[in-house]
Structure 1
Amino acid sequence: MSLLFHHLRVHQVFGANTDVGKTLLTSALVRASAVAGKAVYYLKPVSTGPLQDADDEYVTRFAGPQKSRIQSRCLFRYSDPVSPHLAAQREPDGGNAPPSVPSDDTLVKAISGHIRECARKARGHAHMYVETAGGVHSPTLSGSTQIDGYRPLFLPTVLVGDPKLGGISATISSYESLALRGYMVDAVMIFREEYYRNWEYLQSYFAERDIKVAVVDPPPAKLEDYSQNFQKTERYYEGIAPTTATGPVFDLLAHLDSQHAARIAELDSMPRRTLDQIWWPFVQHGLVKEETDVAVIDSASGDHFSIYNGRRDQTAPDSKTSLLEPQFDGSASWWTQALGHANPALTLAAARAAGRYGHVMFPQGSHLPALRLAERMLKSGPGKGWASRVFISDNGSTGMEVALKMALRAFAVREREHGGSSAGRPKDLGVIGLKGSYHGDTIGAMDACEDSGVYTCEWHDAKGYWFDPPTVGIRSGKMVVSLPPAIAALTEDGKSELNEGPMQHVYDVNARLDSVLAGVYRRFVEDTLERLQARGAPKPAALVLEPIVMGAGGMIFVDPLFQRVLVDVVRTSPALSRTVRAGPDWSGLPVIFDEVFVGLYRLGLESTTSILGVHPDISVNAKILTGGLVPLAVTLASEAVFDAFGGDDKADALLHGHSYSAYPLGCEVANETLRIVGKMAGSAEWADAQAQWRAGGDQPAIVWSFWAPEFIDALSQCDAVGEVMTLGTVLALRVAGDGQGYQSHSAQRLLETLRVAAEDADVDEPGVAPFGINYRTLGNVAYFMLSLNTPPATIRHIENRIWKTLQPSSSRN
């Protein structure tokens, strides 16, 4: 929604308070711009009170001799002279207001539409000023604070300071509120009041922050006689915006123009500078040589990036289109986003902890954000009912290395206690996992994955055995379980594709435990483990799983029954461990659940344990944990695993840590994220989405998705789609007829046009502005991911874009 034009400079004017002269100074800017020969557009999005007192009327009244250059407009007008949220409640259909209280989204879209219209009409270089109401935190029509409501527009800002007693504090507080939300404050304007001299202090304060302060002579006292007051006010404006185009207001205009030009120049230079200096993750630089291939992100808000497109359009200097375009963050910024970008609640949580703590070392210490996070994860979060300890680190890969250290030590200690030297050397221990798994890019986490040749390096040393798992997906409208050849060979008819019923049945693991297929899985796992033991393979010391979905391996939806059977076997097989037992302690091999990607409602469930019907001994959460704002990971462990590290020798402790362990900012943001997500999980919006996925009757859905079931069904029957699958926020589709896997570029080519906003009226949903879709592919698999609060209208728009791209001659009903 953010806009930027070569030929139209737009600034939003905020006030540090009410009655600080915001309209007076904005009028001075408007008038000065006209004197400077510019076409000028003034917008007052919301006006309350009598028409004769309206700010847009005032601007027109004192437009001066260049009045013909100025166009003034108000979008939502109410006659009641109260706060906008009250006026909208009391007068929902008065004036030119719509028949219901407009949402922030409606307000922002109206402003954005008007700015675009002015950009189309503008001739030459023009100026535009968007004046807000009251102070920075005055309410919008919906009742939210306007500093948050207007944030998606991300317009450069002029702050009007408060010259009165207490104005220094009000102005600085307003600036900090703007800065905290990422606003670009280009300048401060304030009246020269000689008794309190706030301008003098604020000039020094803002000079340290490289922000220009324009000090303007105050207006004359208002006269009762209208004609006399008009003449006196007109002379005032002639003095501060003279036809000679000199003085502080014109100096400020030059500064604002310079800031505008500098911003465009910076954005325009970023692709080349990036190509020359940046080393990207997961990118083959040999394939990226053009500046137009660099996605320059100017800002982000909600589910969208604001992408600079000036390098793509070589005619941009003469174009009337915005140099910024919205792109839906289709990978949820590598699976981290939960509540959208620039969420003010999370930003404030980070600032709260930064102001209180900064960072503090954690060993043998405690602070409230970390302690409260640990208690939440154990008592009401994914560790409820089985975990008793929380280790807090700084990213998912590190969290998994901590988990591996925990599991391997716990197994070695338990085996040593019961088997003496027969437990083998600890360095010879390995893990059991699944082919296609991925647990992070640090060396230790990589060693817990097969040597796939994709996520590996020269030091990679695969330590263990990885089963080729059966998978699930939707093909031609039917749920299919695909068996690898070794498992298919054990079935009665040898088929590699089975119909196990609808999705809700496939994920009802407890109901499938006594099935014939469960017996086949069990025999396959037991026979394989016996063969590994017979041939002297490294002794397995842990089972490591990405439950339900293996993300980086290609969005592989594993048959949950197979993972449940695998857990049961490794916990009960005497061939694997001397410690098979019943009771609360872990039995057999310790089990690690890597829920970095899938946990905390990414798949619509707080934890995958509710599907698999078993708890791990160790689990890891990250990504959604902090809503995508800062890196943080937690490794949860049972008390039995914790006890393996006890003793009087420090060498027996878990000697793992980072300088930023239990980072207070991350912990505080995680607490705020979990609080918000917990409320969302019980919301009507989620209940409506869940209801679409019921198998029938009033039984709640075991699994569900934010993506519409009819869309998934239609997608699965597209000729270009070999298989589609969805859970929660995740949608994955595999290109038909392409078996190259990760090395393929087919998914990228198939959906490339999604990146550009579609202007087609038949694609655009009512009330949804066109946007491109920034998505990622994994070879022959394209995936799309939502935040946990992506609006349904946005989801439907994306569905229609995908459908139209895959079926250009069809339209979805």
Structure 2
Amino acid sequence: MTPPPPSPVWHPFTQHGLGEPIPLIDRAAGARLYDADGNSWIDAISSWWVTTHGHAHPRIMAAIRAQSERLDQLIFAGWTHEPAETLAAELVRITPDPLTRVFFSDSGSTSVEVALKMALGYWFNIGAARHRILVLEHSYHGDTIGTMSVGERGVYNRAWQPLLFDVGTIPFPHQGMEQATLDALEAACAARDAGDAPAAFIVEPLILGAGGMLIYPAWVLAEMRRICAAHGVLFIADEVMTGWGRTGTRFACDQAGVIPDIVCLSKGLTGGALPLAVTLCSEPVFQAHYSPDRARTFYHSSSYTANPIACAAANANLAIWRDEPVQARIDTLAEAQAAHLSILSSDPRVENPRRLGTIAAFDIKVSDAGYLSTLTPRLIAFYRDQGVLLRPLGNSVYVMPPYCTTPDELAQVWTAIAASLDIAG
């Protein structure tokens, strides 16, 4: 039998030169992925953190089908449609009052790009010379040029360094070092030179995702917000990953009582079914762009801004949050994650066990720790053979499953993780 020709697909974050197998998934339901032969894998990372209620959730699928038969796409520049209007109104209702405006885009990266442009546009339009962005060490905000600029620099973006703009980096608040972080942010925000006065500080609230699932306390987030407010520095919360229950509450900022000037939402916004993002901002940010002068227009869009079908999926997601015991499911999953992590934490090969809400993580002790650890591809292959989709961040293993994951499915995930420690050397 003649083997099929190689696929022309170039996959993201994939080194094709390693010749690793790439499973062909045929369908999905709940927390499981299936190939055409009936083999299944538990999606223990929610397909890159997007799937919240489970794959192919009936209510979301029904909303997509119904909307696809009514209005599939519409230019959003100067036109509108009911799914977007309904979604925007509901997002304003469930977020704190100062967040009054909703700007649509189509991915987490673009929602952050929008936030950065809003912040810089605000200062430009009010005639203030502020253009410096402050970021938190080890952050990740996306893979476009602007979002790479405000993220950690390393092997994953070194080829594009000439394109990245300069930022001010605040050290991560490691345990015992929180005050040093706050002092550094205070000093950066207090800068008065025209070239140094910051326009905005962008942060992943409570946990840094791609940076290694690094967790810091809510009181530090609250203090960072207080410092920015005291110096008039716009506070941008990137809740692309942390939003929609991952940290234990609908939004991570809720745990710190923090209200950002600008907040970015995506991933779980549609329950993970379709790409959609929003950037919410406070009224002063919008008013800085509001004018009869067309030159002050916020010049940003993409072709699929506020796609009606994606908005319908998001409205179905919000209805699930209203009508179903989503928080109870989150709490149950969080408790189960804590129990499994506690058992594994006694293994001497495990260090820095940590959990926030439904996210559990730990590091495997290896000599080549870091993003390019040689352990990573071996772990991925092992988990795949065990019927589990996990994608460690270097030697950092994390579990972030959909909220519908059953106790048996979660047990299978952690059994595979425990067994994988034997291949660490």
Same fold (TM over 0.5): yes
Pick one of 337, 344, 361 that aligns with 1:732. 361
Q: Counterpart of 2:74 in 1: which secondary structure? A: coil
Is the counterpart of residue 591 in structure 1 residue 235 in structure 2?
yes
Q: Counterpart of 2:41 in 1: which secondary structure? A: strand
Q: Counterpart of 2:336 in 1: which secondary structure? A: coil
Give the distance between the partners of 1:304 and 1:615, measured in 2 at CA. Answer: 36
CA shift, 1:725, in A, is: 1.6
Is the counterpart of residue 443 in structure 1 residue 163 in structure 2?
no
What pairs up with 1:18-57 in 2 under 5 angstroms? none
CA shift, 1:776, in A, is: 0.6
- The percentage of aligned residue pairs carrying the same residue is 32
Q: Counterpart of 2:139 in 1: which secondary structure? A: coil
CA shift, 1:448, in A, is: 2.1
Counterpart residue number, 1:693: none
Pair 1:619–1:723, CA change in 2 (3 A):
same
Aligned AA for 2:148? Answer: M
Structure 1, unmatched stretches of 5+, are 1-264, 309-322, 417-422, 472-480, 488-516, 574-587, 690-704, 758-771, 809-813
In terms of mean alpha carbon deviation, does 458-467 or 655-664 score higher? 458-467
Q: Counterpart of 2:17 in 1: which secondary structure? A: helix
CA contact (8 A) 1:741 1:780 kept: yes
Is the counterpart of residue 370 in structure 1 residue 84 in structure 2?
yes
CA contact (8 A) 1:545 1:592 kept: yes
Pick one of 29, 32, 46 that aligns with 1:332. 46
CA contact (8 A) 1:738 1:746 kept: no
Deviations 1:565-597 (A, max 9, x none): 222112213xxxxxxxxxxxxxx0111111011
Is the counterpart of residue 611 in structure 1 residue 260 in structure 2?
no
Pair 1:672–1:402, CA change in 2 (3 A):
same
Pair 1:610–1:533, CA change in 2 (3 A):
same
Pick one of 658, 668, 671 that aligns with 2:312. 668
Is the counterpart of residue 347 in structure 1 residue 61 in structure 2?
yes
Q: Counterpart of 1:798 in 2: which secondary structure? A: helix
Pair 1:463–1:680, CA change in 2 (3 A):
farther
CA shift, 1:527, in A, is: 4.1
Counterpart residue number, 1:392: 104
What pairs up with 1:5-154 in 2 under 5 angstroms? none
CA contact (8 A) 2:30 2:56 kept: yes
Counterpart residue number, 1:508: none
Pair 1:786–1:654, CA change in 2 (3 A):
same
CA shift, 1:710, in A, is: 2.9
Give the distance between the partners of 2:250 and 2:375, measured in 1 at CA. Answer: 33
CA contact (8 A) 2:171 2:184 kept: no
Is the counterpart of residue 544 in structure 1 residue 207 in structure 2?
no
Give the distance between the partners of 1:719 and 1:537, measured in 2 at CA. Answer: 49
Aligned AA for 1:440? Answer: G
Give the distance between the partners of 2:326 and 2:188, measured in 1 at CA. Answer: 43
CA shift, 1:456, in A, is: 4.9
Give the distance between the partners of 2:282 and 2:86, measured in 1 at CA. Answer: 18
What pairs up with 1:473-552 in 2 under 5 angstroms? 481=175, 483=176, 487=177, 521-527=181-187, 538-552=196-210
Deviations 1:457-476 (A, max 9, x none): 424323211112123xxxxx
CA shift, 1:748, in A, is: 4.1
Aligned AA for 1:367? Answer: H
CA contact (8 A) 2:122 2:289 kept: yes
Counterpart residue number, 2:349: 720
Pick one of 15, 27, 39 that aligns with 1:284. 15
Aligned-residue CA RMSD in angstroms? 2.5
Give the distance between the partners of 1:295 and 1:352, measured in 2 at CA. Answer: 31
CA contact (8 A) 1:464 1:540 kept: no
CA shift, 1:619, in A, is: 0.4
CA shift, 1:307, in A, is: 3.6
Deviations 1:247-283 (A, max 9, x none): xxxxxxxxxxxxxxxxxx99x73xx422xx1211111
Aligned AA for 1:362? Answer: F
Give the distance between the partners of 1:639 and 1:528, measured in 2 at CA. Answer: 25
Give the distance between the partners of 1:673 and 1:590, measured in 2 at CA. Answer: 29
Aligned AA for 1:452? Answer: G
Deviations 1:330-358 (A, max 9, x none): 22111111122222322221121111111
Pick one of 460, 485, 495 that aligns with 2:163. 460
In terms of mean alpha carbon deviation, does 332-341 or 441-450 score higher? 441-450
Give the distance between the partners of 1:533 and 1:716, measured in 2 at CA. Answer: 47
Pair 1:570–1:609, CA change in 2 (3 A):
same
Q: Counterpart of 2:69 in 1: which secondary structure? A: helix
Deviations 1:60-113 (A, max 9, x none): xxxxxxxxxxxxxxxxxxxxxxxxxxxxxxxxxxxxxxxxxxxxxxxxxxxxxx
Structure 2, unmatched stretches of 5+, are none
Structure showing greater relative contact order (alpha-carbon pairs closer than 8 Å, 6 or more residues apart):
2
Is the counterpart of residue 563 in structure 1 residue 294 in structure 2?
no
CA shift, 1:686, in A, is: 4.5
Give the distance between the partners of 2:370 and 2:415, measured in 1 at CA. Answer: 26
Is the counterpart of residue 784 in structure 1 residue 399 in structure 2?
yes
Counterpart residue number, 1:406: 118
CA shift, 1:450, in A, is: 4.2
CA shift, 1:604, in A, is: 2.0
Give the distance between the partners of 2:373 and 2:112, measured in 1 at CA. Answer: 29
Counterpart residue number, 1:298: 26
Give the distance between the partners of 2:256 and 2:368, measured in 1 at CA. Answer: 30
Pair 1:731–1:547, CA change in 2 (3 A):
same
Give the distance between the partners of 2:172 and 2:346, measured in 1 at CA. Answer: 25
CA shift, 1:683, in A, is: 6.2
Pair 1:664–1:741, CA change in 2 (3 A):
same
Counterpart residue number, 1:42: none
In terms of mean alpha carbon deviation, does 432-441 or 709-718 score higher? 709-718
Give the distance between the partners of 2:137 and 2:123, measured in 1 at CA. Answer: 23
Counterpart residue number, 1:794: 409
Is the counterpart of residue 679 in structure 1 residue 407 in structure 2?
no
In terms of mean alpha carbon deviation, does 614-623 or 714-723 score higher? 714-723
Q: How many residues align?
A: 422
Counterpart residue number, 2:390: 775
Q: Counterpart of 2:102 in 1: which secondary structure? A: strand
Give the distance between the partners of 2:79 and 2:225, measured in 1 at CA. Answer: 36
In terms of mean alpha carbon deviation, does 561-570 or 615-624 score higher? 561-570
Pick one of 730, 737, 756 that aligns with 2:385. 756
Pair 1:632–1:456, CA change in 2 (3 A):
farther
Pick one of 129, 132, 135 that aligns with 1:430. 132
Q: Counterpart of 1:295 in 2: which secondary structure? A: coil
Q: Counterpart of 2:87 in 1: which secondary structure? A: helix
Aligned AA for 1:273? Answer: P
CA contact (8 A) 1:411 1:542 kept: no
Counterpart residue number, 2:288: 644
Q: Counterpart of 1:675 in 2: which secondary structure? A: helix
Q: TM-score, normalised by structure 2?
A: 0.91
Give the distance between the partners of 2:197 and 2:411, measured in 1 at CA. Answer: 50
Give the distance between the partners of 2:266 and 2:287, measured in 1 at CA. Answer: 24
CA shift, 1:751, in A, is: 6.5
Give the distance between the partners of 1:407 and 1:533, measured in 2 at CA. Answer: 18
Give the distance between the partners of 2:76 and 2:125, measured in 1 at CA. Answer: 27
Pair 1:683–1:647, CA change in 2 (3 A):
closer
CA shift, 1:663, in A, is: 0.4
Give the distance between the partners of 1:717 and 1:594, measured in 2 at CA. Answer: 34
CA shift, 1:792, in A, is: 2.5
Is the counterpart of residue 629 in structure 1 residue 273 in structure 2?
yes
Deviations 1:100-132 (A, max 9, x none): xxxxxxxxxxxxxxxxxxxxxxxxxxxxxxxxx
Pair 1:606–1:666, CA change in 2 (3 A):
same
Aligned AA for 2:220? Answer: F
CA shift, 1:775, in A, is: 1.0
CA contact (8 A) 1:345 1:672 kept: yes
Q: Counterpart of 1:661 in 2: which secondary structure? A: coil
Deviations 1:172-200 (A, max 9, x none): xxxxxxxxxxxxxxxxxxxxxxxxxxxxx
